[in-house]
């Protein structure tokens, strides 16, 4: 292993450091600028592509009020059948 | 009787060197740190146990250790030496990362860039000490405080230093709560540490979905070397944010990342054999790693102070330290140091912004170094 300033010069250490930091800063500055502009773009596009009302997470079989009521009745019956066990788990 | 004596010669006791014994003690120390002090247990425990396993001496013909062709451990180690595990870890990290903090305050992204100064200044230090340019690049990346990135880059640029670089990177990541606070206190005044920051704004789901695609395109087009790491990070994040692949996101952030972490930690630990690890070069790698980590922390804090010269809404310079990308530990350290001054100041969410930006920054820096030094 050689040592010294000559190694830094031979390995172009200073140039790599300066250009490396510039590239990292450029990439993240562009990312930062993009993030800054994103809400503005989205507001413009909101009129063209309005947000969907429904969510992917809501299963279709709970989508109507009747089904929700049935689910609630089912849960109540299940709780009663399980007795105190359900109570202990919940609290 | 002769068979018994022959057998005794092949036992670990007979072949144990002082170096192996020392590394076994180091392994036990790592395991103890993980269990007693709770320092990065998910990493230190498998690494520590791996170091114990890797330093049990055996006869060459048995092919037991990671460096012997055909051994089981060598197959596990392939994922490290070929750079397969780091992108998989990044996929999991992407699936568990919420970029909201960063999206709500884009200027904090720059702190993640500033902290990468540790990588490049350490590269100069390593060159000065006589390491080759590609070795210097691999050593410098320790300052990114990102274990998978350090492993990925060293497997490409300096495979012979992979063991010491990986151990140094993970050790310093585990020691974030020890290394960072003194530097943070040294570089900030009490008044600065008391700065309270504005609440982050609400971020829409559309922003979260568009972000990983956009950031991948920006990073990959600027530094193509970062395609693998940033690509997997962004894919993981898209799986999470798209809300249509919840099963895949769940697997990536739980079962998959846990599996890979166990194998990665264990095989990295097992690669730290005394014969290859206890060398003057490894000690230099460790020293440079500590320097790299400290410079990175200082770089983030000083840059935050510089930003404050131009900002109307001041930022707490402590969050600059989170730019080193050890997610989420450095953000937690920021919160801890900030709360010591003001128990009602919550900096964690703000610190997560430079923290995740640091992950992007270190992956981009690794891509740049890979492009520059690839042969």
**Cβ contacts of B357 on chain A, cutoff 8 Å:** 28, 31
Write the pLDDT tens digit of every residue in B47-78. Answer: 999 999 999 988 777 788 888 888 899 999 99
- CB-based contact B130 A7, cutoff 8 Å: yes
**Cβ contacts of B119 on chain A, cutoff 8 Å:** 20
- CB-based contact A38 B207, cutoff 8 Å: yes
Taking 80 as the threshold, does the pLDDT of residue A84 lie above it? no
Q: Given this model, what pLDDT does residue A54 score?
A: 52
CB distance B168 to B138 below 8 Å: no
Q: Given this model, what pLDDT does residue A88 score?
A: 39
CB distance B341 to B354 below 8 Å: no
Mutate which: A13, A28, A47, A52, vs B, most B CBs within 10 A? A28
SS3 B76: helix
Mutate which: B102, B104, B106, B226, vs A, most A CBs within 10 A? B106
Q: Given this model, what pLDDT does residue A63 score?
A: 54
Q: Given this model, what pLDDT does residue B174 score?
A: 77
pLDDT tens-place values along chain B, 375 residues long: 788 888 887 888 888 899 999 999 999 999 998 899 887 788 889 999 999 999 998 877 778 888 888 889 999 999 998 989 999 999 999 999 999 989 999 999 999 999 999 999 999 999 999 999 999 999 999 888 888 899 999 989 998 888 889 888 888 887 788 899 999 999 999 999 999 998 888 899 999 999 999 999 999 999 998 899 999 999 999 999 999 999 999 999 999 999 999 999 999 899 888 888 888 888 899 889 888 889 999 999 999 999 999 998 899 999 999 998 788 888 999 999 999 999 999 999 999 999 999 999 999 999 999 999 886
Tokens of B261: 């972490």
Longest alpha-carbon distance in chain B? 85
Q: How would residue A72 be classed by pLDDT, with cut points 50, 70 and 90?
A: confident
- CB-based contact B364 A11, cutoff 8 Å: no
Q: How far apart are CA B331 and CA B348, in angstroms?
A: 6
For residue B114, what is the nearest residue in chain A, using CA coordinates? Answer: A25
SS3 B273: coil
**Cβ contacts of A31 on chain B, cutoff 8 Å:** 106, 109, 214-215, 218-219, 357, 360
Q: How far apart are CA B123 and CA B129, in angstroms?
A: 10
∠ CA B202-B203-B208 to the nearest 5 degrees? 165
Select from B369, B360, B364 the least CA-distant residue to B122: B369
Most confident of A31-35, A84-88, B10-14: A31-35
Select from A33, A8, A5 the least CA-distant residue to A18: A8
Residue B281 contacts by C-beta under 8 Å, 6 or more apart in sequence? B161, B164
Q: How far apart are CA B93 and CA B197, in angstroms?
A: 27
Q: What is the ipTM of this complex?
A: 0.87
Q: Given this model, what pLDDT does residue A91 score?
A: 35
- CB-based contact A29 B120, cutoff 8 Å: no
Taking 60 as the threshold, does the pLDDT of residue A59 lie above it? no
For residue B204, what is the nearest residue in chain A, using CA coordinates? Answer: A39
Q: How far apart are CA B161 and CA B165, in angstroms?
A: 6
- CB-based contact B106 A25, cutoff 8 Å: no
- CB-based contact B207 A42, cutoff 8 Å: yes
Considering only CB atoms, which residues of chain A are within 8 Å of chain B? 1-5, 7-8, 11-14, 16-17, 19-21, 23-36, 38-39, 42, 51, 55-57
**Cβ contacts of A7 on chain B, cutoff 8 Å:** 127-128, 130
B348: cis peptide before it, omega within 30°?
Answer: no
Backbone angles phi, psi at A78, to 5 degrees: -65, -40
- CB-based contact B110 A3, cutoff 8 Å: no
- CB-based contact B219 A31, cutoff 8 Å: yes
Q: Say how many C-beta atoms besides its own lie within 10 A of residue A29's C-beta.
A: 16
SS3 B315: coil
Select from A65, A31, A59, A36 the least CA-distant residue to B201: A36
Taking 80 as the threshold, does the pLDDT of residue A52 lie above it? no
């Amino acid at each position: 292993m050689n040592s010294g300033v000559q190694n830094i010069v031979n390995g172009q250490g200073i140039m790599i450091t300066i250009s490396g930091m510039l590239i990292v800063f450029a990439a993240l500055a562009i990312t930062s600028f993009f993030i800054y502009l994103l809400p503005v773009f989205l507001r413009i596009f909101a009129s063209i592509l309005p947000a969907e009302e429904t969510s992917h997470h809501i299963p279709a079989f709970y989508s109507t009020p009747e089904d929700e009521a049935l689910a609630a009745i089912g849960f109540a019956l299940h709780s009663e059948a399980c007795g105190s066990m359900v109570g202990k788990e919940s609290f | 009787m002769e068979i018994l004596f022959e057998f005794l010669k092949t036992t670990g006791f007979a072949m144990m060197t002082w170096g192996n014994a020392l590394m076994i003690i180091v392994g036990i120390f790592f395991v103890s740190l993980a269990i007693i002090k709770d320092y990065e247990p998910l990493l230190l425990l498998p690494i520590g146990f791996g170091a114990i396993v890797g330093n049990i001496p055996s006869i060459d013909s048995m092919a037991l250790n990671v460096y012997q062709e055909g051994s089981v451990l060598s197959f596990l180690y392939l994922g490290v030496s070929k750079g397969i595990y780091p992108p998989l870890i990044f996929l999991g990290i992407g699936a568990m990362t919420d970029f909201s903090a960063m999206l709500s305050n884009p200027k904090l992204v720059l702190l993640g860039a500033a902290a990468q100064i540790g990588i490049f200044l350490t590269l100069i230090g390593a060159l000065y000490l006589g390491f080759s340019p590609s070795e210097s690049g691999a050593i410098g990346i320790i300052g990114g405080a990102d274990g998978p990135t350090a492993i990925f880059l060293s497997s490409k640029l300096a495979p012979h230093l992979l063991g010491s670089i990986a151990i140094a990177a993970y050790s310093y990541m585990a020691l974030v709560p020890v290394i960072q606070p003194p530097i943070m206190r040294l570089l900030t005044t009490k008044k600065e540490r008391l700065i309270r920051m504005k609440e982050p704004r609400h971020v829409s789901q559309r922003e979260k979905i568009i972000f990983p695609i956009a950031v991948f395109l920006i990073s990959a087009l600027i530094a193509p070397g970062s395609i693998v790491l940033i690509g997997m990070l962004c894919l993981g994040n898209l799986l999470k944010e798209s809300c249509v692949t919840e099963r895949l996101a769940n697997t990536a952030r739980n079962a998959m990342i846990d599996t890979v972490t166990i194998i990665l930690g264990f095989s990295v630990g097992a690669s730290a054999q005394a014969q290859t690890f206890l060398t003057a070069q490894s000690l230099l790698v460790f020293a440079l790693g500590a320097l790299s980590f400290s410079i990175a922390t200082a770089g983030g804090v000083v840059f935050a102070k510089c930003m404050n010269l131009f900002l109307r809404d001041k930022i707490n310079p402590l969050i600059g330290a989170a730019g080193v990308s050890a997610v989420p530990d450095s953000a937690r350290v920021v919160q801890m140091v900030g709360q010591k001054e003001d128990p009602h100041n919550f900096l964690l969410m703000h610190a997560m912004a430079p923290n995740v930006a640091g992950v992007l920054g270190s992956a981009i820096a690794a891509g740049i170094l890979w492009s520059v030094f690839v042969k």
